[in-house]
Amino acid sequence: MSQHILILAGDGIGPEIMAAAEKVLNRVNDKFALDFTWSHGLLGGSAIDAHGVPLPDVTLDAAKKADAVLLGAVGGPKWDAIERSIRPERGLLKIRSELNLFANLRPAILYPQLADASSLKPEIVAGLDILIVRELTGGIYFGQPRGIRVLENGEKQGFNTDVYSESEIKRIAKVAFDMAALRGGKVCSIDKANVLEVTELWKQTVTDLAAAEYPEIKLSHMYVDNAAMQLVKNPKQFDVLVTGNLFGDILSDEAAMLTGSIGMLPSASLDANGKGMYEPCHGSAPDIAGQDLANPLATILSVAMMLRYTFKQEDAAKAIETAVGVVLDQGLRTGDIMSAGMTKIGTQAMGEAVLKALG
């Protein structure tokens, strides 16, 4: 049976990197006889321009019907001054929430070919392969009450609520444990249990679940401030990290930077049934948009993640990842990962090189 993918290229460099990724999707579709179909929709700034809102109903309906969503990036200075409730980022948060994409997988892998690109010493990061499992539809991002109110003395006060229920904690911890079982068997749960009750419950719930259902997993706990430090001090001590929405947002950027190029990192956001939205970890980079400078590899690798997690097409996923490795071995680099002696190429040429390597 044919399966359908909704492509949301988004803003900034989104359309360029997606054009390259779509060619790769097309190629694997033929090569592995996958019977995928896909269509396009608007999300973020481009949707605000066309429909006045960042997540139009037509996009949300299409996303709900699709088997997977492939996303470029959203946002840019053009929409920065817009009222908070309809900013591009709100579209992203709403689609995550409406599709129940509670499990965000953000791998940070250092490609050996790019060891020089990291700002850390090669011996600290060589061989780095960690996975951040970030809760994506709860916590302080969505907690109520929230807002900006005016106090009696006329002063404004901003407030948000960090909230997690046991069931929300359990379902994300399960994802982390299941992922760890397929990798190094270690999970480090990140909290701030010394200060915040919400993460005290987090820590206890994760501990109880591990004891009851995952005795083979090596579980440890770390305060988020220490985790931020350990990630730069000795990142290879980690296998899988699991944490809430806000800590995960911050730590995943830090982990991505350890690898030297956020332009290389894909991500997956999954619901309980394996449906997912796949997107590069980087943003819309408006400063280089439309100039054929962006690195399309994170989006191309997001296609690989989609094939693996939603469609269970491991061979096709591996073929894409191998092709990316071949292209790096050939010395081909976009500007963000350029180093001495390599060949600098543009977005579309990088996409073509991956196609060629795919055969």
Q: Which positions are annotated as active-site residues?
A: 141, 192, 225, 249, 253
Which one, 44 or 235, has the nearer CB to ligand IPM? Answer: 44
Which DSSP string corresponds to 126-160?
TT-EEEEEEE-SSGGGT-SS-EEEE-TTS-EEEE-
Distance in Å, CB of 74 to ligand IPM, minimum: 7
Which one, 62 or 73, has the nearer CB to Mg ion? Answer: 73
- Sequence-distant (6+) residues with CB within 8 A of 318 are 304
Instruction: Give the torsion through C-alpha atoms of 65, 358, 18, 316, to 10 deg.
Output: 20
Which one, 132 or 358, has the nearer CB to ligand IPM? Answer: 132
Query: Which residue type sits at 311?
Result: F
Q: How far is CA 219 from CA 185, 205, 234, 272, 350, in A?
A: 9, 12, 18, 23, 40
Among 89, 116, 213, 314, binds ligand IPM (CB under 6 A): 89
Count of residues in contact with Mg ion, rule CB under 5 A: 1
Q: How far is CA 346 from CA 27, 48, 64, 264, in A?
A: 20, 29, 34, 15
Q: Which stretch binds Mg ion (CB under 5 A): 52-60, 77-85, 112-120, 246-254?
A: 246-254
Which one, 41 or 280, has the nearer CB to ligand IPM? Answer: 280
Binding characters for ligand IPM, 223-262, by CB under 6 A (x = yes) = --------------------------x-------------
Q: Which stretch binds ligand IPM (CB under 6 A): 85-93, 111-119, 200-208, 212-220?
A: 85-93
Q: Which of 65, 10, 13 is nearest to 37 (CA)?
A: 65
Which one, 251 or 320, has the nearer CB to Mg ion? Answer: 251
DSSP-derived letter for residue 284 is: -
Residue 165's CB is within 10 A of a number of other CB atoms, namely 12
154-193 positions binding ligand IPM, by CB under 6 A: none
Distance in Å, CB of 66 to ligand IPM, minimum: 20
Report the distance separating Cα 48 and Cα 56, nearest Å: 8
Q: Percentage helix, strand, coil, to 5, in the chain?
A: 50, 20, 30
Which one, 178 or 254, has the nearer CB to ligand IPM? Answer: 254
**Is 92 one of the binding residues for ligand IPM (CB under 6 A)?**
yes
Q: Residue with CB nearest Mg ion?
A: 249
Distance in Å, CB of 249 to ligand IPM, minimum: 4
Burial class of residue 343 (count of CB atoms within 10 Å of its CB; 0-12, 13-18, 19+): exposed
Binding characters for Mg ion, 190-229, by CB under 5 A (x = yes) = ----------------------------------------
Distance in Å, CB of 253 to Mg ion, minimum: 5
Report the distance separating Cα 139 and Cα 199, nearest Å: 10
Distance in Å, CB of 89 to Mg ion, minimum: 10
Binding partner of residue 332 among ligand IPM, Mg ion, none, CB under 5 to 8 Å per kind?
none
Report the distance separating Cα 283 and Cα 267, nearest Å: 12
Q: Output phi, psi for 46, to 5 deg.
A: -60, -30
Q: Which stretch binds ligand IPM (CB under 6 A): 12-20, 87-95, 124-132, 166-174?
A: 87-95
Among 67, 249, 279, 336, binds Mg ion (CB under 5 A): 249
Residue numbers of the site for ligand IPM (CB under 6 A)? 89, 92-93, 249
